Structure formats: structure tokens, C-alpha cells
């Protein structure tokens, strides 16, 4: 085992350099105190905001799709309420959150995919059959 002395990420023993920090790795496991401090720092530094709210029977499906779209654009997202949506699909809300620094771009992407879809009525659907 090896670890990065900067971010405390663990690597296989054959790894030589941290892919994020670009510093040489230390042999062994990271010190427990350093790991705890690093996790506390990460938890305190996240500033998440809601960029989309999904409701209804397809809330979980649409939220997962939206999260995957953002992931593909390099914006990590977090879903809140997706498990409840699977249990109570008609009465649940799923929230898509991203870091505040990514929120503006995430909202633009969500608008491109979800807001610009052509609207169709049930009559249109029947006419296409």
C-alpha cells in the first residue's frame, strides 16, 4: 500500500505518484489522524446547492439521467431522496445537488436537456401512432 502525503488518497504499492497532487507517494497506509482531518476538511468545504427538483412517477429515473448527464460533462452531482422515490414513486421529490461553483454551468446543461424539449400533447402522441 502507498498513499499521497498531500490528500491522503491510498494507492497500490506499485504506484509512484499521486494522480491529483503530482507528488511522490509514501509507503504504507496514511496516518489515522491525517485521514480523519482530511475527511473533516472535505466535509466542511462542500457547498452544495439544488439545481433541479424531480417529482412524480419518473422522478428517480429523470434525476438519475440528469446526474449522468452532468457527470459526463465533468460536474459531479448528488441525489437526495432517490431511495424514497423508488419506494413511494408518486409522492416523493428527488433533489439534484452540485457544488456551488458548478451550479451555473449545471443549470445551463439541465436547461439544454430538459427545458428545450418539444412539448407534445396526448393528441400528438395518438396522431403519431
pLDDT tens track for 35-81: 455 555 555 567 889 999 888 878 888 899 999 999 999 999 998 88
Give CA–CA dist 116/108, Å, rounded.
Answer: 11
Q: Thinking of the domain 48-118, which architecture would CATH place it in?
A: 2-Layer Sandwich (3.30)
pLDDT at 68: 94
Q: Where are the chain's structural domains?
A: 2-45, 48-118
Please write the tens of the pLDDT for every residue from 69-109: 999 999 999 988 877 656 666 667 888 999 999 999 999 99
Give every CB contact of residue 52 below 8 A, 6+ residues apart in sequence.
63, 66, 95, 96, 110, 114
Cα separation, 48 vs 100, in Å, equals 6
Whether the model pTM is above 0.85: no
Amino acid at each position: 500500500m502507498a498513499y499521497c502525503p498531500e490528500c491522503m488518497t491510498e494507492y497500490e504499492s506499485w504506484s509512484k505518484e499521486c494522480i491529483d497532487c503530482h507528488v511522490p507517494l509514501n509507503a504504507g497506509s496514511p496516518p489515522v489522524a491525517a485521514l480523519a482531518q482530511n475527511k473533516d476538511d472535505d466535509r466542511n468545504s462542500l457547498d452544495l446547492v439544488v439545481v433541479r427538483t424531480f417529482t412524480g412517477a419518473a422522478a428517480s429515473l429523470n434525476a438519475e439521467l440528469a446526474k449522468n448527464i452532468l457527470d459526463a460533462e465533468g460536474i459531479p452531482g448528488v441525489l437526495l431522496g432517490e431511495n424514497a422515490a423508488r419506494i413511494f414513486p408518486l409522492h416523493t421529490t428527488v433533489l439534484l445537488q452540485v457544488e456551488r461553483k458548478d451550479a451555473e454551468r449545471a443549470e445551463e446543461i439541465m436547461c439544454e436537456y430538459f427545458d428545450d424539449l418539444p412539448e407534445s400533447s396526448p393528441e400528438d402522441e395518438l396522431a403519431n401512432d
